[in-house]
Structures are given as C-alpha cells and as structure tokens.
Amino acid sequence: MKNKIIYLLILMIGVLSCGKDFTESTAYGALSDENLQNAQGIDLKLIGAYSLLDGMSATGGADWEKTGDNWWFDVISDDAHKGSTNGDQADLFLLETFDWTSSNPYIYGRWRALYAGTNRANAVIDLISQITDGDFTQQMAEARFLRGYYNFQLQRIWGNPPYISEENYANTEFNQPNPGPIWDKIEADFSFAKDNLAPTQNDVGRPTSWTAKAFLGKVLLYQKKYGEALTLFDEVINSGKFALLPEYVDNFRLAGDNSVESLFAIQFAADAGQSYNGNRGGTLNFPGGGPINSCCGFYQATQDLVNAFQTKDGLPLLDTYNQHDVANDYGIFSDEAFTPETGPLDPRLDYTVGRRGIDFNGWGINPGKDWIRASFADISGPYLAKKSMYYAGEDANMGTGGWGQQRAGINYHIMRYSDVLLMAAECAAEGGDLDKALNYVNQIRNRAKNMTYVKDVDGSGNPAANYSIEPYTSFPDKEYAIKAVRFERRLELGMEGQRLFDLRRWGNATQVMNDYIANEARTIPPFGIAAKPYQDKHNLCPIPLNAIDLSGGVISQNPGY
C-alpha cells in the first residue's frame, strides 16, 4: 500500500465513477461487475476505495478543497490561519472569518470527496454480495471499515448527512433524506470490521482489528459513551501492538511512516516529478519562497496556539496562557532586529510551529518575513507550519511544479497512538478514574520531556529555547483532569486537523472561538477586524447548496443557513 499506484490502476481498469448527483454515481467503465467477480476484481475496487482517503476524487474542484488531511478545518479553529494573502483563495478567507454560505467550494469539495469514498466502499460491498463462491470476509471488513470512516467524517462535519447504503448505491437511489445523525450506521460498520479484520496485515496501510477497535472507540467517545469507549481503548493500549516513538518529531518525518505509533494513515509516497502519490491536498502549505523556493504560504499557526505552549514549573498554563503573548515578529521585516521568545516553553512548540530565529526543519534559521507570503495587512500573522514541511536531506517532496508546488510523500496520520492514549485519558477522566487519566496523559508528557529538543543552529548543541516540561504529579479533581486532558490534546495534536472537531464535540466551541477571536486581534489586528463572531450554527457546516438542488429537495439544510 505504501507504494500505491492507485490512480493509474483505477484509470487502467476503467472503474472510476462519474458524478451525476450530489455524490459520485454508479461505477462505469470497461469492466463490468460480472468480470470483476473474483479476488483480483474485489481488490482492485477495494484499492479504489482506499484511494479516496486523500480526497482526490474524480469529481473536479481544487485538490486543497477536498483534501483528506483536514488541514483547512484547522483554519476554522483557533489553531491556524489560512495563510498567504487575503485574496488568494478568497473562499477560504470567508470560511476563516465565519462568513459561511452553502455555496462555498471548500465545503462542497469535501462533501463530494467523502461521498465518493462511501460509494466506492459500497461498490466493493455490493460486488462481494454478488459472489457465491469463496470467502471474502476480510475484504468485506476492509470495505466496511472504509465506509465507516468516510461516514464518520461526514457525520462530524455536517451532523446530519444522508446515509447511502450498498442497496441505495446498487439501485442508484442516491437522493436519500438526512433526518438526523447516522452514528448507528457508523458503529455497525466499525463493529463488523472489529470482529472480522485480522489482527495483522501483510500490506501496510490496511486496517487491522486493532485499528477498527480504536475507531469504534472514537465513535463512542463522540457520543459520550465513555465507559464503552474506554474498554476498547484499553484493549488497544494493552495489546502491546503500539507504542509512542521515542522522538515526537518522527511522526512527521519518513521515520514515522507505518511505525508503532501509527494506527491508520493516508499512504503518501515520494517519487520523481509531479506524482499522484504525494499529498496533493497539502500542496499550498509550504513557505512562500523560503529555503526550497516553494509555494504558497498557506496554513499558518495562530498566536493563540503558540501561547498555549507556555509552561510554568513544566506544566501548561491551563487558564492563563493568553495573559502573556510569546514574542512574535509580526510587523517586523527580516532585516530588522528581533529576539525570539526563549521560554519556558513546551518543546513540542518548535516541532509544530515555525518561529523566527529557530531552525526550520534542518533548512536553517527561519528569518521571519522573508519566508512569509502574508503581508502585515493580511489576517494570517508571522508563523509557519512545520508538521507538513519535510526535512532537509529527506527526499520526501514530489518535485517543484510551475508555480512552486510541493507534494510531500510523508504519511498523514489519521490516527496515531498518542491520540488513542489521550482519548482513553478523556474517557477515564469523564468516568472519574483520575489515576488512569493521569497515567495516560503523563505517558504523552514524558515522551515530550525525554525526546531530543530542537537545537540552536550555532553548533553548540544547546536547545534553541528554554524548554521545560514535566508530568503532572496528580489530578486533584475531575474538573481539573478533564481540563488537563483537553489541553494536552491541543499541545500533542496541534496542526493535525483535530482541533475543530474536539471543540465541537466538547460543546464549548462558541465560547472558545469568540475568546480566541478577541485575543488574536491583540497581536494580529487585521484578523480581529475581518473575523465575524462564531455562532452556534458554525458547530455544523452548511449542507452544500448543489447537493440540495441535485437531490430535488430531498436533503434538508442544517439550521442557521
């Protein structure tokens, strides 16, 4: 799976779908289902279903609108700004400033890509159901896992998505109503996968029974079924199959691809030229110029996120982190003097965010404005994204195109083991088992404490800042434990496409986001001027207008739009 040539295979056998309704429609091509009713045919269609994990469907639209790594969902959280100039990708500017409409192409692009994924999974399920000879339970379990995953994404983005089954798919009855959440359907698919997938796979990138348990646990967590979810998470943790990598940063380098910390990932790959196997959806998210003459300066961290990495006595400032701003170089040109903040800081900061004066993934000192495409009049501030940028000396890029685009070959971790530990800690805290919650959180913090820190580029071997992190000694009560676990998720998983969905499921997004807008305006005034208030309606995205129109009015709009 790592060296997948998915698009070539699918194009060759002619089973790519064409879009007719609000999803991709029935698969048409040179080979009929009758000719595919064998193990090879099933696997070819199954590979087609996997290929939609990165969002690159055949339904048109820009790659970055439908991307599978969910980076632009961070842009509508307090973790990231869109980056670049305000006018570049104006539709994303509207999303970040909470001027949302049901016709925004980013929202429609992700919708179409996810339904393309469910339909390709349905095509596999339907094909297997037509075969009377042979045992294809494993392939069925993989297909149902994928359908569960695509529907989980639809559910947490829109809240009330239509459910398309293999029967709807086979009968081309795509225009299904959306009366409410589809959690039961998602649970059923992940439960089947949990019970029928093998505990190991020969091909990296395919889910195992342990993967399915973790995802089922996540679905239960989203529904606040904390006890049931914790049972599953504990089974995964106690299996001995997974572990934290000694070096946090390896999760964002080639060394972390399909490692013991990776439960499920989009399998990107590096090769020569402008490959279809690299991260096409993240191609905008490199410095605007910078060390590799890249494009386009999107996906910049917020001051709010940077401030969250401040520590006192090695612990985060859970309630007061915005009372002091980490020094930034907003409004300062690269040839002007600037002294970066030294700390005390959580060492994960400088593996997450590109700050002026700190080494940028082995490419040398980040000089600040010279590598920032956004002007001081734009809304995006002075920081760069590090987790999406490959390291100097690692052949992880896909080559540079005509406008400087890069396509990184490093996997995107849809779920990694630290996420499982933190979800388990959250369930334990919610259930009052504070000792277990403390143990799981401290495993994360101890990894960060004992890892190699970013070094000063002066050759001294000294850390680049005053990094200070310690485990918690105790959680004095349930309220404190829940707050600490939630904060740890932000520190550990920052700029990984998780934050918005956490805020939504915790039910505090409206308050947190409006506090963020007010705080961010202090250091980046253009953002404060442009951003509208976050409203309760923003806890769900609008159903795309095109989907409603193409359904003939069968699909209903979410409230507030």
Give the CATH number of the domain where residue 51 resides. Answer: 1.25.40.390
Q: Average pLDDT of 383-409? A: 78
Mean residue pLDDT across the chain: 91
Q: Average pLDDT of 298-310? A: 98
The whole model's pTM is what? 0.93
- Give the percent of the chain with pLDDT over 70: 91
Which two tokens mark 254? 């080639």
Integer-rounded Cα Rg, in Å, for the chain is 23
Q: Average pLDDT of 46-63? A: 89
Q: How far apart are CA 526 and CA 513, in angstroms?
A: 17
User: pLDDT (tens digit, 9 = 90+) per residue, 370-392?
Assistant: 999 999 999 999 999 999 898 98
User: pLDDT (tens digit, 9 = 90+) per residue, 66-112?
Assistant: 999 999 999 999 999 999 999 999 999 999 999 999 999 999 999 99
Predicted confidence at residue 29, as pLDDT, reads 39
Q: How far apart are CA 432 and CA 501, in angstroms?
A: 23
Tokens 């040539």 identify what position? 5
Instruction: Please indicate, yes or no, if residue 463 is contained in any of the structural domains.
Output: yes
Instruction: Please indicate, yes or no, if residue 336 is contained in any of the structural domains.
Output: no
Q: Average pLDDT of 239-261? A: 96
Instruction: Please indicate, yes or no, if residue 427 is contained in any of the structural domains.
Output: yes
Predicted confidence at residue 282, as pLDDT, reads 92
Q: How far apart are CA 525 and CA 377, in angstroms?
A: 9
Q: How far apart are CA 421 and CA 437, in angstroms?
A: 9
User: pLDDT (tens digit, 9 = 90+) per residue, 495-519?
Assistant: 999 999 999 999 999 999 999 999 9
CA distances from 42 to 76, 127, 196, 271, 403 (A): 38, 7, 17, 27, 39
Domain count, the chain: 1
More confident residue, 462 or 3: 462
* Residue 130 predicted with pLDDT over 70: yes
At 21, is the pLDDT very low, low, confident or very high (cuts 50, 70, 90)?
very low
Predicted confidence at residue 3, as pLDDT, reads 46
Which two tokens mark 412? 């995107």
By three-state DSSP, how is residue 155 classified? helix
Kindly tell me the burial class for residue 240, based on how many C-beta atoms sit within 10 Å of its own C-beta (0-12, 13-18, 19 or more): exposed
Q: How far apart are CA 75 and CA 372, in angstroms?
A: 17
Predicted confidence at residue 174, as pLDDT, reads 84
Beta strand pairing call for 298-301 and 80-83: antiparallel
* Residue 430 predicted with pLDDT over 80: yes
Predicted confidence at residue 132, as pLDDT, reads 87
* Residue 525 predicted with pLDDT over 60: yes
Q: Average pLDDT of 329-347? A: 95
Predicted confidence at residue 343, as pLDDT, reads 87
* Residue 322 predicted with pLDDT over 80: yes
Domain extent at residue 471: 6-270+412-550
